[in-house]
Structure 1
Amino acid sequence: MTARTTDLREAAGPPPAARGGPDEDLVLLGVRHHGPGSARAVRAALDAYRPQAVLIEGPPEADALTALAADPAMRPPVALLAHVVDDPSRAAFWPFAEFSPEWVAIRWAAKAGAELRFIDLPAAHTLALRAAGSAEGVEPAGPTGPPDPAAPGEPAALAPPDAPAAAAQLRIDPLAVLAETAGYDDPERWWEDAVEHRAGEDDALAPFAALAEAMGAIRETYGDGGHDQDAVREAHMRLRIREARRAYDRTAVVCGAWHVPALAARTTAAADRARLKGLPKAKVETTWVPWTHRRLSRASGYGAGIDSPGWYRHLFTAQDRPVTRWMTKVAGLLREEDLPVSSAHVIEAVRLADTLAAMRGRPLAGLGETTDAIRAVMCDGSDVPLALIHDRLVVGDVLGEVPPDAPAVPLARDLAREQRSLRLKPEALERELELDLRKDIDAGRSRLLHRLRLLHIEWGEPVASRGGKGTFRETWRLRWEPEAAIRVAEAGIWGTTVRAAASAKAQDAALRAGTLAEVTAVAEWCLQAGLSDALPMVMRMLADRAALDADVAHLAAALPALVRAVRYGDVRGTDSAALGEVAAGLAERICVGFPSACVGLDADAARQMRTHLDEVHRALGLLPDRPPAAAGAEGGSPEGGGAESGGAGAGELRERWAAVLRAIADRDGAIPGLLRGAAARLLVDEGRLPAAQAARLMGLALSTGAGPVEGAGWIEGFLAGGGMLLVHDERLLALVDGWLAGVPAEAFTDVLPLLRRTFAEFESGARRSLGELVRRGPSGAGRAPAASGESGPPGFGAGLDQARADAAAQTVRLLLGAMTGADLAERPGG
């Protein structure tokens, strides 16, 4: 190659796209990102052309990472991640699937020993331009844009979910234009017929030449098609292509088909450099991260997304009979879900799919035909199983893997080490994890998940446990999303290990807390996450805030979290003695100030105070008699911090609280009826208020002088615990019934919403029993004399049905294994 030839090439630019053969020094392979047909065609073209250099659309900062693509531990789907060093939230992904043409080219170059380079606009400029566009009020292309399968393949950006997409709506979908020109109303269907189902051809480069010609016609008509940043990107690509052509005799470029006409255009290097001059720049870091099929789908918002990554992977990996193999997969999935699917179903579904393809003029049954056949044959016309098939197979939950020696922030390396040691592998499929905190490995898993939540790395979410309500049980819903890599990079500013980062984050959260309840929440989190390093500082903040805060509502809001923390410390084996002392001190101050804090409240404030009343009552009931640190000592010690040494014990605190409840329940109208009724109900539930005294308090609250609204508030507070109290105590029911019957008509409309809200919270069985009792007339005041022969509980029938009782007794004896031969003979039909 002479210098004169090189100069001419640089002046003229690249030759026409993909018309080259073995004698040409450059071919442009325009593809659809994540297209299995394009991937097969690229592999065939590279095998035929045998380039010395392979150039791929992607960030040049990743050139140093290409060697990892050949590592056996690298399993797609994976993505290149680039983020700004000082602001990891400004980041972008370049995803690759097993069936992505770019990934096929990367693997081919690694195997053939060809030079591999990325030629797109550097991520340093891309992320800086995105930040500049946001600052100017122009939202860059991101997850909110429409799918653009054959177009530029812009990186998946972390943009706000509510970003305006007005500019994105003006973009041209080149596949839609080609499909409409060919007479198709569905671009996906046209692409499958034209590319995915196309049989092999003798000339491996011919399909790329045809696609380049079509894209050229579209760009002549629509210009940049709404992709206003493409001119800058394509200028940089042309410069990198010129560099490769000077260095190698044969160069292949794999890029989005949309770019091929621009890369083949005749321009000068000076013009391209001028277009790139003055671009903003940021310092970035790049690495490989796992990706998922779900994030490749259009629902993920990635600009080059696809509807059915699982289906496309199947088309790419199935060596022969793809429809038959697909139906077999579907049958296996349905059988796992206990649906009756036989081999005959599979055979009939394949026949129906092929018939539908022939009727619709398609070369091979596509996803539409297979779905219709599955619905008709395997699902009996129901779309419910189809939703499962779409989620598990058509989209899929495949999660890629990257080698452990891939570049990563120290925090990410420590997290990977923790995951391996705890045998807690990240998975894309959502699953529930049951933990028993009495086991060391489960306790370690719980600490790790709580630490990650504190760092806003949302891998796991705690949910209600089905195995019991003990404090030693936890249930987590786990699902690993690729965005977690960004969160890990962001959390790296707090420390190099998960524990150190979570401790620093907890201390910062305690310093920034605006209320006492927020500080107690941080303290509880420290206990759950096992952050003993951060707990002393958080405890100092908690003690200072508690000493200065005189608002009883604030103290009441803080107490439940403290008590939960003490209980967590007990089951997790951590020292929570200091927390127990603070909790006891808060409880004493609440007992002193709570009655006066309830005086003179309006309806909204009373409702809020009633919530605090219930939470404090529940918290004091859970407060252990002695803190865990003092439980093993005889009588405790000043250093041990037992509740007895630092203040009142839990038993004494509960007695004080009972006195507070009695004072509130006996108070006159200065305290809202809602609070007085709630206090009376709590006393009744604990057996501290006899039924006769409860009836007396209800009678006073529902007297004529109390007022209907105040009486309705008392009933709402008293009955908040459920309606079974009225079912079993007809004296109280008679008081409520008599009061309600005597409410004046003019006040009834004010009382009715309160009563409806109260009774709507009852279980259906309690409401039904109350309705039956009221229909018959409750016992006590206002009830008619009992009918002759009536026995048993009042209001529940006129005596015992002996025959039904005997049948029930025989069944009970049979269940207990106490039935004799005589008993069996006496049974009806025995």
Structure 2
Amino acid sequence: MTDDTAWRRSPGPGPLLLGVRHHGPGSARAVRAALDAARPRAVLIEGPPEADALVPLAADPEMRPPVALLAHAVDEPGRSAFWPLADFSPEWVAVRWALEREVPARFIDLPATHTLAWGREEGEAVAIPGTEPDEPGAGRQKPDAADEPDARGRKPDAADESPTDRQLRVDPLAALAEAAGYDDPERWWEDVVEHRGGAGERDVFAPFAAVEEAMGALRETYGAGGRDRDPVREAHMRLRLRAAQREFGERVAVVCGAWHVPALRAKTTVAADRELLKGLPKVKTDMTWVPWTNRRLARASGYGAGVDSPGWYGHLFRAPDRPVERWLTKVAGLLREEDRIVSSAHVIEAVRLAETLAVMRGRPLPGLGETTDAVRAVLCEGSDVPLALVHDRLVVGDVLGEVPEAAPAVPLQRDLVREQRRLRLKPEALERELELDLRKDTDAGRSRLLHRLRLLGIGWGEPAESRGSTGTFRETWRLRWEPELSVRVAEAGVWGTTVEGAATARAEAGAEHASALADVTGLAEHCLLAGLPDALPVVMRALADRAALDTDVGHLAQALPALVRSLRYGDVRGTDTRALAEVAAGLAERVFVGLPPACAALDADAAEEMRGHVDAVHTAVGLLGETAPETQTAAASADGTGVLSPSGHRDLRRRWRAVLRTLSGRETVPGVLRGRAVRILLDEGELGPEEAARLMGLVLSPGTPPVDAAAWIEGFVGGSGGGGMLLVHDERLLGLVDSWLTGVPAEAFTDVLPLLRRTFSVYEPGVRRTIGELVRRGPGERLQGAVQTGGMPGFGAETDTGRADAVLPVLRLLLGLDGRDVLDADNDLVGAGR
């Protein structure tokens, strides 16, 4: 058969219009069959015309779908649009068919230069994934034939219409399914299109003719169907179609959403179409290919395509035959990898069940619903837990596409790719944990790269809590590459052409524009973590300036912990932190001076906030004293060198303890702060148990208002700092609390109850149970037990050396002392215990 004969057999006069459902494997197979039969001289595809120059890259061996066309405004990279394509997308099939046969392939939708500017003029929020309102039917099995992504790669006009407009938008699939007697549009589409088989060359055009007729009837009834932008888009498509016909003749094929076919077939004038396009706003845009993921295809909002089962669709598209049997075999393999017992008999039984369910439900072949029910009943033994794994790994899938190096990219993107390869840190769609040992060069480089990207707003990795170690040399990250991170990279390109340079510029700009002192200290911490020595001087100057001008003790207390943490980071990363230590020591001095006056006359909420500042400063002072002397400097020291000597460390702690003593004895300070100061002094050994009991007795005396006394108790034994165990082991303190509580007047009890519940609710269940048992015994029985043991309540009369000796072998093993003389090792351990 000649080409002209094949073309004459295509449906209708004029161009070959192939109306498809986006991301539908049935539509993709039908498009390939129709193109093979018609052999057009040019293929026109719904998509932005700016991508015409990128079409040849689809033939590159390194191009692996899912991928997406990304367009962004040059002056505003965050304003962007995606057109995602999978290997089962009809548009991708058409592009590949044209490239394999050296036939021109062109995009004919409204240019992105208009679409991006159009959204900006209407105040549309773009490039913020997941913010677009959900549409009726969003998140279903497949997007319907007309509900394809618009020129921005989203559901059409999802963010541009009011809720009433969206309710009026017609769902073509639902209308056609209802006319066919189906109550489920998805099941109708699968039965009519996805499961249609046995079609030979004689009727490859028949499905498109039927869809065109159906869509024509719907558009006669509903017009534009509530999509106000469609007439403008379709006018541009018609103009591009006429231009292609002048160049290639009538043998032109068009692959577009089925909803648009009647509009492209309509007889309109060139003048009318150009009138619709007159005055459209413009913005300069860049376009490239970017990797996409199956999970992003599965999202119905944001930058998703609304395809709930891209893994299943890909299987249907690629399976040469027996798709159900092949699918269930794949499921069985996955479950075996997870150590579940699945035999060949299970697979055979699951196939039979799926086929039986299809017959009972009146379906030509088993669909995803039937196979899922069979997997649950047979392979998962009725459990939804392994079924969720099947859905996540196979039905959706964790595939991440790839694009060739030849694809256009901003310089920052290219440098990021080089860094990823150098550090062997490959982007992956599936979330994974990465453990880093900063003592190793490669891991330290990975840490710097991830911190630099976070500073640039590129959230590829998020820090996580390390399970195996609490040392500062250990870091844990959760990594997951999302397609929209390509937009973030484009946005960050304004700061520089390399990751390090861009992060440095971003940090310097942040330091200049930061309004709060804590923001600057946090920025200094990020600079050390990210290894940005060039940015640190600028940040430190901004930090010193703001610290000198800020008189709010709360702000100073918030800033100090981040600075001290940064000093410790420098130990592992080899960063010079002398200037940072100087500012930290100066901040600590200012906090010591200003804290007592700032704690006076505070209400309950302000006192609770200040308590958090006191805890943070106490931790920071302790860490500041633990850092290596050679890495710390102060504004001045006794020897004039500026180096904070070990005596300087002790002096900082001594002055801090003096501040705490002042807080503990000042009556104008709220009870929660006084109690907290006493508790810290007790833990530090600066206050003896007798003195702590005396202070508690004074506070819990009848002359103190019950609410103030309850606040003092909250500060002393509240929180997660071991206050419950303190009451367990020191029954004098418990007795004081018990006696005070039983003496609280009935009219005041309801006022103190919330504070007491908050105090004791944070204790571990075992601690609460022990305290309750001690209280149940009563003071007499507790005192008798103390007299019998001859010591402190809760403790034995003397040390049990036998029980202590039983621990020594385990400690020798943990400390690696097995090879040493046993007596020397034991003496070392006993000395360490003291």
Query: What's the TM-score, normalizing by structure 2?
Result: 0.89
Residue 593 of structure 1 aligns to which amino acid in structure 2? G
Hey, what's the Cα distance between the residues in 2 that align with 1:166 and 1:516? Answer: 47
1:210-249 superposed matches below 5 A = 210-249=210-249
Aligned to 2:134: 144
Q: State whether residues 67 and 402 of structure 2, in contact with CA within 8 Å, keep that contact through their aligned partners in structure 1.
A: yes
**CA apart distance, 1:773:** 0.6
- How big is the shift at 1:593? 2.0
The secondary structure found in structure 1 opposite 2:286 is strand
The alignment status of 1:718 with 2:716, answered yes or no, reads: yes
Partner of 2:691: 693
Match among 80, 93, 104 for residue 69 of structure 2: 80
Partner residue, 1:116: 105
For residues 185-334 of structure 1, the aligned pairs below 5 Å read 185-202=183-200, 203-249=203-249, 250-301=251-302, 304-334=305-335
Which residue, out of 150, 165, 168, partners 1:167? 165
What residue number does 2:89 align with? Answer: 100
How many angstroms does 1:568 deviate by?
0.8
Displacement of 1:466 in angstroms is 0.8
Aligned residue pairs, count: 788
| Corresponding residue number in structure 1 for 2:818 | none
Deviation, 1:761, is 1.0
* Secondary structure at 1:43 match in 2: helix
Residue 660 of structure 2 corresponds to: 661
Post-superposition CA distance 1:750-799 (Å, at most 9, x none):
11111111000111111111011111124xxx657638996588887999
Q: Is the CA contact (8 Å cut-off) linking 1:432 and 1:475 kept in structure 2?
A: yes
The Cα shift of 1:642 comes to 2.7
SS in 2 for 1:710: helix
Aligned with 2:52 (options 63, 85, 92): 63
Please state how far the C-alpha of 1:812 moved relative to its aligned partner. 9.4
What residue is the counterpart of 1:526 in the other structure?
Answer: 527
**Rounded Cα–Cα distance in structure 1 between residues aligned with 2:8 and 2:793:** 95
> Which amino acid letter does the alignment assign opposite residue 134 of structure 2?
T
What's the offset of the Cα at 1:386?
2.0
Q: CA offsets, 1:352-378, max 9 Å, x none? A: 001111111211110000011111112
Contact conserved, 2:132 with 2:159, CA < 8 A, in 1? Answer: no
Kept after mapping to 1: 8 A contact 2:82/2:303: no
Aligned positions of 1:316-395 closer than 5 A: 316-395=317-396
Query: Offset of 1:652 from its aligned partner?
Result: 1.6
Q: What is the deviation of 1:302?
A: 5.2
| CA distance in structure 1 between the aligned counterparts of 2:104 and 2:627, rounded to whole angstroms | 70
Aligned residues of 1:790 and 1:798 also touching (Cα < 8 A): no
Between the aligned partners of 1:676 and 1:407, the Cα distance in structure 2 is 63
Residue 332 (structure 1) shift:
2.1
627 and 796 in structure 1: CA distance in 2 versus 1, 3 angstrom threshold: closer
Q: Does 1:133 align with 2:122?
A: yes
Tell whether 2:420 aligns with 1:437.
no
Match of 1:42 among 23, 31, 35: 31
The runs of 5 or more residues in structure 2 that have no matched partner are 1-6, 813-834
Select the residue among 655, 670, 674 that pairs with 2:672: 674
**Aligned counterpart, 2:578:** 577
Change (3 A) 1:294 1:637: farther
Over 3 Å counting, the alpha-carbon distance change for 1:640 and 1:285 in structure 2 is: farther
Paired residue for 1:614?
Answer: 615
Q: Does the CA-based 8 Å contact 1:150-1:256 persist in structure 2? A: yes
Aligned partners of 1:144 and 1:163 also within 8 Å: no
Counterpart of 1:171 in structure 2: which amino acid?
R
Q: 1:165 to 1:743 in 2, by over 3 A?
A: same
Does the C-alpha gap of structure 1 residues 166 and 25 become closer, same or farther in structure 2, counting only changes over 3 Å?
Answer: closer
Contact 1:293 1:309 in 2 (8 A): yes
Residue 730 of structure 2: aligned partner: 729
Residues 1:559 and 2:560 aligned together: yes
Counterpart contact for 1:553–1:609, Cα < 8 Å: yes
Offset at residue 313 of structure 1 (A): 0.5
Q: Is the contact between residue 290 and residue 401 of structure 1 (CA under 8 Å) also seen in structure 2?
A: yes
Query: How many Å separate the matches in 2 of 1:726 and 1:786?
Result: 18
C-alpha contact 2:581 2:632 (8 A) present in aligned 1: no
User: Counterparts of 2:118 and 2:795 in 1: how far apart (Å)?
Assistant: 80
Structure 1 residue ranges without an equivalent (≥5): 1-17, 801-805, 818-830
Matched residue, 2:819: none
CA distance in 1, matches of 2:672, 2:24: 65
CA distance in 1, matches of 2:120, 2:339: 51
Aligned counterpart, 1:827:
none
8 A contact 1:292–1:400 mirrored in 2: yes
What is the CA-CA distance between 1:670 and the residue it aligns to? 1.2
Q: Is the 8 A contact 1:520 1:561 kept in 2?
A: yes
Whether contact under 8 Å (1:566, 1:576) holds in the other structure is: yes
> Partner of 2:237: helix, strand, or coil?
helix
Q: Contact (CA 8 Å) 2:785, 2:793: kept in 1 or not?
A: no
Alpha-carbon deviation of 1:156? 2.7
Tell me the SS of whatever aligns to 1:305. coil
Q: Which residue in 2 is equivalent to 1:820?
A: none
- Which residue does 2:759 correspond to in 1? 758
Aligned to 1:14: none
The Cα offsets for residues 132-177 of structure 1, whole Å up to 9 and x where unpaired, read as: 233799x999563344421143133599999954422321121111
Please give the residue correspondences for 1:452-601 in structure 2 after superposition, counting only pairs within 5 Å.
Answer: 452-601=453-602
**Does the 8 Å CA contact 2:567/2:627 hold for their aligned counterparts?**
no
The structure-2 alpha-carbon separation of the partners of 1:20 and 1:280, relative to structure 1 and needing over 3 Å to count, comes to farther
**Native 8 Å contact 2:124 2:159 kept in 1:** no
- Indicate conservation of the 8 Å contact 2:296/2:304, yes or no: no
Q: Deviations over 1:476-523 (max 9, x none)?
A: 111111111111111111111111111111111111211211111111
Cα gap change, 1:404 to 1:691, in 2 (>3 Å):
same
Amino acid corresponding to residue 229 of structure 1 in structure 2: R
Decide which moves more: 783-792 or 513-522.
783-792
Residue 811 of structure 1, CA deviation: 11
Give the CA deviation at 1:20. Answer: 4.6
SS in 1 for 2:489: helix
TM-score, scaled to structure 1: 0.89
Residues 288 and 143 (structure 1), Cα distance of their counterparts in 2 relative to 1, 3 Å cut: farther
Question: Aligned residue for 1:825?
Answer: none
1: CA distance, partners of 2:786 / 2:766: 28
Per the alignment, in what secondary structure is the counterpart of residue 496 of structure 1? coil
Aligned residues of 1:555 and 1:586 also touching (Cα < 8 A): yes
Mean Cα deviation higher: 468-477 or 140-149:
140-149
**Other structure's SS at 1:156 match:** coil
In structure 1, what is the Cα distance between the partners aligned to 2:663 and 2:570? Answer: 33
> Can you list the C-alpha shifts for 1:779-827, whole angstroms capped at 9, x where unaligned?
xxx6576389965888879999xxxxx9x9999999999xxxxxxxxxx
- Residue pair 1:74, 1:402 contacting (<8 A) in 2 also: yes
* 1:641–1:343 CA distance, 2 compared to 1 (3 A): farther
Does the 8 Å CA contact 1:630/1:637 hold for their aligned counterparts?
A: no
Relative to structure 1, the CA distance from residue 659 to residue 251 in structure 2 (aligned partners, 3 Å threshold; closer, same or farther) is same
Q: Which amino acid aligns with 2:216?
A: G
Partner in structure 2 of residue 153 of structure 1: 149
CA contact (8 A) 1:54 1:253 kept: yes
Distance across 2 between alignment mates of 1:219 and 1:324 = 40
| 8 Å CA contact retained: 2:629, 2:644 | no
C-alpha distance 163-751 of structure 1, shift in aligned 2 (>3 A): farther
CA–CA separation in structure 1 for the residues paired with 2:355 and 2:790: 73
Corresponding residue SS for 1:183: coil
